[in-house]
Structure 1
Amino acid sequence: MTTALSRPRAARFATFMFFGLNGFGMGMWVVHIPNVERATGISHSTLGALLLVLGGAAFAGMQVAGPLADRLGHRRLVPAAGIFLGLSLCGPGFANSWWTLGLALALFGFGNGAIDVGMNAHAVVVERAYPRPIMAAFHAMWSIGGAIAAVIGAATLGAGVPTGVTLTCTGALCLLLSLVSARFLMEPSDAPAPAGSPETPRPARRRPPGKTVWLLGLLALALMLSEGVANDWAALHMEKVLGTSASTAALAYGAFAVAMTTGRFLTDRVAAWAGPAAIVRYGAALAAAGLTTAAAAPWVPLSLVGWALFGLGLSGGVPQLFTAAGNLDTRASGALMARVVGLGYVGLLAGPALIGGLTRWMPLNVTFAVPVVLCVLAAVFAGVLSPKPQPAEQPVCS
């Protein structure tokens, strides 16, 4: 068993590196946004529009990288995306106008989207070579990378290190580790095909499982939209609705983020016992109950408990959806995952904007009914992850 797992273990470590690097790179960009805004002299509204450019470019990168992963292989696509991300990360630090920042963010977003799909598709391959689920731990590593970026970014900002220098060093680290980790990656042919996945040679024209992949994508959109709401509105809810100070309000997002990261480290063990459908079903139900508690609670401690339950409930669902998409058809796993990851990313971007628009007509805590309903719907349709029984083999009559 040790010999059989030596290569998957190396590939698992390399995949951890890519997830951590992606989270670290994104985190370093986020903590330097105020500096970049001041350096370019743009307004808040212009920055908001340019962030939409970043999001749109990321979605485009996902759709391009998915089919390329199937065609070129993961050992080529994933390191190339990591190198592209590292090189593009330098751009925002040296932008001096709105159009140079827009160009830099378009390149950075494209690289981020490409590596997002590539590393998730590779993670599915590595998981197939393991005797147990490991997907959620990769996503936890992304969160760890972001947390490390927050600490290091705060230190460099406090020391007065120029933004361009910090982001360039971060990009160089992404480039170097992408090159070092490339040799340890696996191809889909290196792992056993999942039960029920086509293993026949690639036909001239294939028909991917369209209905299932779109349903998985809609579930990812629902769960990641809910996650986006917590990212942007948790602290503001505590401050505006419960009347807390800014420092106390920050605990709301902290409770959510810590619970989500912890849950992702625990999810794989639970999924091995209960199955992916149960993770999504009961996790989404717990998330709905948690957000309802956070929104309705009149006391700060109870609201913090609600935000923590919301994060814990959401922690394991998306990794299960990505795994299911990548295993629908191993010959087209990259293209299929691009759809699911892309729809999820749309939800992540759309959630905060949707809630912001609804606050024009209703109180902030009432708008949280939208993600609550989406979580309930995710729990209802989680059965799409249940394995379908294989038809019994018909006896051959002589």
Structure 2
Amino acid sequence: MQRSLRVGRLATFAYFVLNGFIIGMWVVHIPAVEHRVGITHAVLGWLLLLLGAGAFAGMQVTGPLADRFGARIVVPVSAALCSAAVVLPGLASNVWTLGAALLALGFGNGCLDVAMNAHAVQVEHGYQRPVMSAFHATYSLGGVAAALIGARTLSWDRHPAATLGVAAAVGLAVTILAAPALLRPESPHAAEAFVPEIRRSTPRRIWFLAGLALMLMLCEGVANDWSALHLRDALAAPAATAALAYGTFATAMTVGRLLADRVAARFGPATVLRCGASVAALGLITVALSPWIPLTLAGWTVFGAGLSGCVPQLFSAAGQADRNAAGANVARVAGLGYLGVLAGPAIIGPMTHFVPLGVTFFLPVAFCFIAAASSSVLRAQPSVTEPRTPLPMASLQRHSR
């Protein structure tokens, strides 16, 4: 296998870890920033919507730019923007500056999310086998590293701007070191291909993939936001035990993504989606109906394991559908998927006024079954490439490195 492709894969791992680390560092500093700015939980909740809005905007801007200029250029720029922006919440002194800081951080995160996924699609195309899930697993590992490092630095009682500034410096250093290893664009005509591409309507298959991403990432959001609360309120678990609900889910997600590529290579991405979403549904049903804490924790574990490989298959399919519009297509799928993460609290929360929290989990269960029934959308289809003139084989090989 070409050395440049292997090195490009390692660089992609680095950017996924970096993205998880940067966002994780912000998450662990949320209480400290909230206290220093002097806002309530309710105000913080509204401000976090700006983080989501910025991320969605960044995704939509970066997708076409990745197609126009190539991920080799867009990924480092996005990573630098995301890294620099993480220090801004630590510098905020009031609600207005914190809102602006979160909008900027969200924008940088959205840019990096789409750019690195577009490059991951290019790497996967070079390997000619599934490798996407492993990239998403390393994003989770970056978040774990941030949690461990953040817990330690917070114990020193330093100003958030100091530790977030160090995180920003680390991010910029990784960005600079990993940038030269990124792959060059696959087609020398990418710039010309961009012009007719933006006039073309998005294929219905891409919107269908985006809809599935919205549903499945809403399911992930339910685990992120409600797993610990459900264990505490429904089963009267102590706070430390309740925290294990999300911990078991997140661990299963990470391990599952490390293994999902091998399963996809052997049985196909459609099988991963069909079986994974079905297993996730059974896990969440167990959570909703379980009267015992150990069984509930097992249900969250099964839920995470089932979901783990589903969303990466959707990203990969979107990127492979049209080689000249990989960035834009990934942006659409990632953008709607991110809205799903944000929609989880907005949908589940109001439902709890009418039914118990456990009963509301049957909505994401239904989404999982819909995704499983729709798995045929991932069956292999020829990807679209539109070079303007035929290229000699040697030239094609050179540009694919």
2:137 aligned residue: 140
| Conservation of the 8 A alpha-carbon contact between 1:225 and 1:349 | yes
Query: Residue 209 of structure 1 contacts residue 328 of structure 1 at CA under 8 Å; is this kept in 2?
Result: no
Aligned to 2:324: 331
Counterpart of 2:397 in structure 1 is: none
Whether the 8 Å contact between 2:321 and 2:382 is mirrored in structure 1 is no
Using the TM superposition, name which of 182-191 and 65-74 deviates more.
182-191
How far residue 382 of structure 1 moved from its aligned partner, in angstroms, is 1.0
Partner of 2:386: none
Query: Distance between the aligned counterparts of 1:188 and 1:295, measured in 2?
Result: 47
Q: Confirm or deny that 1:7 pairs with 2:4.
A: yes
Cα offset for 1:137?
Answer: 0.4
Aligned ranges 1:69-218 → 2 under 5 Å: 69-189=66-186, 202=193, 205-206=196-197, 207=200, 209-218=202-211
CA distance in 2, matches of 1:367, 1:285: 18
Q: Please give the alpha-carbon distance, in whole angstroms, between the structure 1 residues aligned to 2:157 and 2:236.
A: 34
Deviations 1:288-340 (A, max 9, x none): 00000011011111111110000000000000000000011111111111100
SS state of the match for residue 371, structure 1? Answer: helix
How many Å separate the matches in 2 of 1:307 and 1:46?
30
User: Is the contact between residue 23 and residue 146 of structure 1 (CA under 8 Å) also seen in structure 2?
Assistant: yes
- Give a deviation string over 1:24-52, Cα, whole Å, max 9, x none: 01001001001101111111111111100
Contact 1:61 1:111 in 2 (8 A): yes
Matched residue, 2:387: none
Distance 2:25 2:255 in 1: 22
Q: Give the conservation status (yes or no) of the 8 Å contact 1:208–1:329.
A: no
Whether contact under 8 Å (2:351, 2:360) holds in the other structure is yes
Partner of residue 294 from structure 1, selected from 278, 281, 287: 287
**What number of residue pairs does the alignment pair up?**
380
The separation in 2 between residues aligned to 1:388 and 1:220, in whole angstroms, is 19
**Paired residue for 1:44, among 41, 56, 63?**
41
TM-score normalised by L of structure 1: 0.93
Contact 2:19 2:109 (C-alpha < 8 Å) held by counterparts = yes
Indicate the SS of the match to 2:174: helix
Asked if residue 268 in structure 1 is aligned to residue 261 in structure 2, the reply is: yes
Q: Which residue of 2 aligns with 1:395?
A: none
Residue number in structure 2 paired with 1:230? 223
Deviation, structure 1 residue 175: 1.0
Q: Shift in Å at residue 389 of structure 1?
A: 8.2
Q: 2 CA distance for matches of 1:358 and 1:142?
A: 31
CA displacement, residues 342-383 of structure 1 (integer Å, 9 cap, x when unaligned): 000000111122111110111000000110000000001111
CA contact (8 A) 1:125 1:187 kept: no
* Mapped pair 1:343 → 2:336: yes
In 2, Cα distance between the equivalents of 1:44 and 1:303? 28
In structure 2, distance between residues paired with 1:136 and 1:290: 20
8 Å CA contact retained: 1:222, 1:375: yes
Deviation sequence 1:272-300 (CA, Å, 0-9, x none): 00100000111000000000001101111
- Return the offset for 1:203: 8.1
In structure 2, C-alpha distance between the alignment counterparts of 1:250 and 1:341, rounded to whole Å: 28
Unaligned regions of 5+ residues in structure 1, if any? 192-197, 391-398
SS for the counterpart of 1:205 is: helix
Which runs of no fewer than 5 residues in structure 2 stay unpaired?
Answer: 384-401
Map of 1:249 onto structure 2: 242
- Deviations along 1:69-95, one digit per CA (max 9) or x if unpaired, are 111111110000000111111110011
Local SS of the residue matching 2:196: coil
| C-alpha contact 2:67 2:194 (8 A) present in aligned 1 | no
Change (3 A) 1:52 1:389: closer
Cα distance, 1:208 vs structure 2: 5.3
Task: Name the CA shift for 1:233/1:209 in 2 (closer, same or farther; >3 Å).
Answer: same
- d(CA) in 2 for partners of 1:272 and 1:161? 47
- Identical-pair percentage: 54
What is the identity, as a one-letter code, of the residue corresponding to 1:301? P
Give the Cα–Cα distance (whole angstroms) in 1 for the partners of residues 362 and 193 of structure 2.
45
Say whether residues 1:29 and 2:20 are aligned partners: no
CA distance in 2, matches of 1:46, 1:299: 35
Q: Is the alpha carbon distance of 1:352 and 1:290 closer, same or farther for their aligned partners in structure 2, counting shifts above 3 Å? A: same
* Preserved CA contact (<8 Å) 1:235 1:249: yes
Query: In 2, are the aligned partners of 1:325 and 1:333 still within 8 Å (CA)?
Result: yes
For 2:186, what is the secondary structure of its paired residue?
A: helix
Q: How does 1:54-65 map to 2 (within 5 A)?
A: 54-65=51-62
Q: Is the 8 A contact 2:194 2:324 kept in 1?
A: no
Q: Quick check: 1:208–1:332 contact (8 Å CA) kept in 2?
A: no
| TM-score scaled by length of structure 2 | 0.92
Measure how far apart 1:187 and its partner are.
3.2
Contact 2:68–2:194 (Cα < 8 Å) also in 1: no
How far 1:209 sits from its partner (Å)? Answer: 4.9
Q: Which of these residues, 356, 360, 377, is aligned with residue 370 of structure 2? A: 377
What is the alpha-carbon distance in structure 1 between the residues aligned to residue 5 and residue 304 of structure 2? 30
The separation in 1 between residues aligned to 2:323 and 2:151, in whole angstroms, is 42
Letter in 1 for 2:78: A
Q: 1:208 to 1:130 in 2, by over 3 A?
A: farther
* Kept in 1: contact 2:133–2:260 (CA 8 A): yes
